[in-house]
Amino acid sequence: MPRISLTPPRTLLVRIATWYSRRTYGKVLEPGLAYGHNPRVMFSYVRLEQRAAKWNKLDAGLKHLAVMATASRVNCSWCTDFGYWEGTGLGLSPEKIERVPQWREAREVFTATELLVMEYAEAMTDTEPTVTDELAARLIGLLGEEAFVELTAMVALENFRSRVNSAFGLTSQGFAEACAVKPAARA
């Protein structure tokens, strides 16, 4: 049960966000409804997300695995649910996405770089962060400084998302279920 009402005032910004959300995702995203209670926060957050979506120095699959590892570490069920849907849209295998929360036990599913990215995401998400000089140096060597900065910013952004959604009490909206393979129709 959400800790905040999901019926914000029907301001112009909320109506636009609701329309965009239905059009883009097929349903209204609950975090948007929660943010709708404070138009300035909502507008600033939307602008941040729009700008972050244009970052392109880090491979989209690596970026997504970092986001999923972060959401899993924070234990944000809304974020992992949405992340599953988003990851399948990026073309990541469902098996890979499903294994992110237990990536250490499923090393065979991931590349060495993917494993390092998820290790970094978790280390950065720890309270207090446990990023080591060695881990950062290895990633910079593999990805380059521009992509490393983007990775770090994406993990920070997902920490923001996951912690806000968890504090709001938001849980799965059924995005992962929408990705399930439907049985073939009988002829």
- For the cut 90, the answer to whether the pLDDT of residue 176 exceeds it is no
30 and 64 co-located in one domain: no
Residue 10: CB partners within 8 Å, gap ≥ 6?
A: none
CATH number assigned to the domain comprising residue 123: 1.20.1290.10
Q: What mean pLDDT do residues 70-89 have?
A: 95
- The mean of the pLDDT values for the chain is 93
159 and 85 co-located in one domain: yes
Tell me the per-residue pLDDT of 49-60, one tens digit each, with 9 for 90 and over: 999 999 999 999
103 and 45 co-located in one domain: no
Q: 95 phi and psi, to 5 degrees?
A: -60, -45
Burial class (CB within 10 angstroms; exposed 0-12, middle 13-18, buried 19+) of 30: buried
The rounded radius of gyration (Å) of the Cα atoms in the chain is 17
Provide the pLDDT for residue 41. Answer: 97
User: Which domain, by its residues, includes 87?
Assistant: 60-167
Per-residue pLDDT band at 180 (split at 50, 70, 90): low
Counting residues of the chain whose pLDDT is more than 90, the rounded percentage is 92
20 and 103 co-located in one domain: no
Residue 8: CB partners within 8 Å, gap ≥ 6?
A: 14, 33, 34, 35, 36, 37
